[in-house]
Chain A
Amino acid sequence: MTGVRVQDLARGPGYGGLLHLVLMALSAASAGAQIPLTVEVRAGGVYSTPFARGIAVVPAELEAVARDLVVGPRPAPVAELALAARLDPSFALEFRSGASIADVAGEGGGDSWPAGRMTAVHILGGVRFPLSPLPGADVRAGAGKVLYLSSEVNLLEGSGQTGVLLSGGFGYRLPGPVPAIGVAEAQWHEFDPAALAEAGAAAGAVTRFLAWLALPVGGTP
């Protein structure tokens, strides 16, 4: 299984490479233009709404029920690396990429069952503005992409295709000696692979709620 999973991750090589290029370009640009850069490591948790919903009809002869089914990831830890470029005291650009490994579960009739494990890889570009009335607070928005990779989750095998990922959130500089920032974020994307519709299931859209603790680990003054 290990070999298969390595292959899974290799399906999204373009994104990691792209982030690397963006970071290099930003570093070079900031060195030339004296733009302060911050590198942040972020860790937190993610809760996602279900990937798909459907109905199971158990024949009248047996039970005569129509049971609602859902499948989606369980809450999971998430980590990412972010690079922020403060272009102006009241405006910063940020690029970020990270991943989470989550168990996926099916649910129906008051019961739930394991449906495999997946890796979610995300990459986003966005902006941050200080929230002037509240010192240390900021508001953030961004767009990007999330990829769901798995060789175990039936739903994601060969598909797992998502639309553009939109993101919005708040950051707040936590009091204390460590310059940590707490971030609350909501992400939203379309999720409707053809395979789903063919299988008599639908999702339409998925919302991910994330809570982060961000630690600046480097940068330029």
Chain B
Amino acid sequence: MNRRRGTGSMWRMAVVAALAAACDSATIPALPGPYDFRLAIYGADGRARQRTFHWDRGAVVPVYVDDEPVGAGALSQAFRRAVRAWGAAAVFGEVRLRETTDLGEARAVLRWHDATGVLSTPMTCLGPVTGAASTLGCLNDPRDALRTWPRRDGEPSQVIYRVVIRRTDDRELLDRLVIHEMGHVLGILSHSPNPSDIMWAGPDLPPAPTARDRSTLRSLYQTPVDLPVESASPGE
């Protein structure tokens, strides 16, 4: 008799636990509002249009890290920290970066500024390269889509962004620069107006994406794309 009562109370506890779980509604911490993540593209009429680009939701974006020694150099290490930093921001699995040694599948190339590089540089992809780092994409002729960046060896390319970092011995600075540039690769194509964010354009970047940076990435991946990637890879 006693034992049966024990069984019943244990079962009741299990049911209560299950019900408590089913009714559980944890408070969702609020993130600050996002900043504008769009790219201003100037048309022939001189007017700027704001365009949104991001990868397909759930995409794993392969990045070719052109480093020496391959996979063990400072640039590769900084890239891996950037993968973790943005991974921690995209908790709903919106997007993820990964390193690839296969240039054929790469969607971005990361290299030092003084390396020869695996991409050729057509005039349409040139832009101002100033400061410590840059991320560049190529626009098609009507300037309404991103086109793939041609490879130096003439093989087919899927590369959309070329990221160049000036050499530095300052590992912390390098990490922050690479995180910032990878923010562009993920689709944050403008800069935060707030100097404390990783996507601010100035020096003294924070060590990791801030709550505002995370909020911006999350918001970006819920916004429809109107700057697509041109499907065919055009010849040079």
- Expressed in whole angstroms, the minimum distance between the Cβ of B233 and any Cβ of chain A is 25
Q: Is the CB of B26 within 8 A of A192?
A: yes
Residue B15 is within 8 A (CB to CB) of chain A in the complex = yes
Number of residues on chain B facing chain A (CB within 8 A): 48
- Selected from A141, A157, A195, A198, the residue in CB contact (under 8 A) with B14 is A141
Residue A119 is within 8 A (CB to CB) of chain B in the complex = no
Q: Is the CB of A202 within 8 A of B27?
A: yes
- Expressed in whole angstroms, the minimum distance between the Cβ of B207 and any Cβ of chain A is 13
Q: Is the CB of B219 within 8 A of A57?
A: yes
Partner-binding segment picked from A37-45, A100-108, A175-183: A100-108
Residue A152 is within 8 A (CB to CB) of chain B in the complex = yes
Q: Is the CB of B7 within 8 A of A186?
A: no
- Selected from A63, A166, A205, the residue in CB contact (under 8 A) with B26 is A205
**Cβ contacts under 8 Å, B15 to chain A:** 168
- Selected from B10, B11, B93, B218, the residue in CB contact (under 8 A) with A115 is B93
Residue A6 is within 8 A (CB to CB) of chain B in the complex = no
Residue B234 is within 8 A (CB to CB) of chain A in the complex = no
The chain A residue with its CB closest to the CB of B7 is: A129
Contact A56 B222, CB 8 Å, known A71-B91, A205-B24? yes
Contact A52 B91, CB 8 Å, known A152-B96, A192-B26, A204-B24? yes
Q: Is the CB of A71 within 8 A of B10?
A: no
Q: Which positions 29-67 of chain B face chain A at CB distance < 8 Å?
A: 29-31, 33-34, 36, 52, 56-58, 60
- Selected from B21, B57, B93, the residue in CB contact (under 8 A) with A49 is B21
**Cβ contacts under 8 Å, A200 to chain B:** 28-31, 211, 214-215, 218
- Expressed in whole angstroms, the minimum distance between the Cβ of A201 and any Cβ of chain B is 5
Main secondary structure, interface of A, reads strand
Q: Is the CB of A157 within 8 A of B218?
A: no
- Expressed in whole angstroms, the minimum distance between the Cβ of A56 and any Cβ of chain B is 4
Contact A116 B93, CB 8 Å, known A141-B14, A157-B87, A168-B11? yes
Interface-centre pick from B96, B215, B222 (highest chain A CB count, 10 A) = B222
Residue B115 is within 8 A (CB to CB) of chain A in the complex = no
Q: Which positions 128-158 of chain B face chain A at CB distance < 8 Å?
A: none
Q: Is the CB of A57 within 8 A of B94?
A: no
**Cβ contacts under 8 Å, A67 to chain B:** 222
**Cβ contacts under 8 Å, B36 to chain A:** 59, 61
**Cβ contacts under 8 Å, B13 to chain A:** 141, 168
Listed from nearest, the 3 A-B pairs whose CB atoms lie closest are A168-B14, A115-B93, A204-B26
**Chain B interfacial positions (CB closer than 8 Å to A):** 3-4, 7, 10-11, 13-15, 17-18, 20-22, 24-31, 33-34, 36, 52, 56-58, 60, 84, 87-94, 96, 211, 214-215, 218-219, 221-224
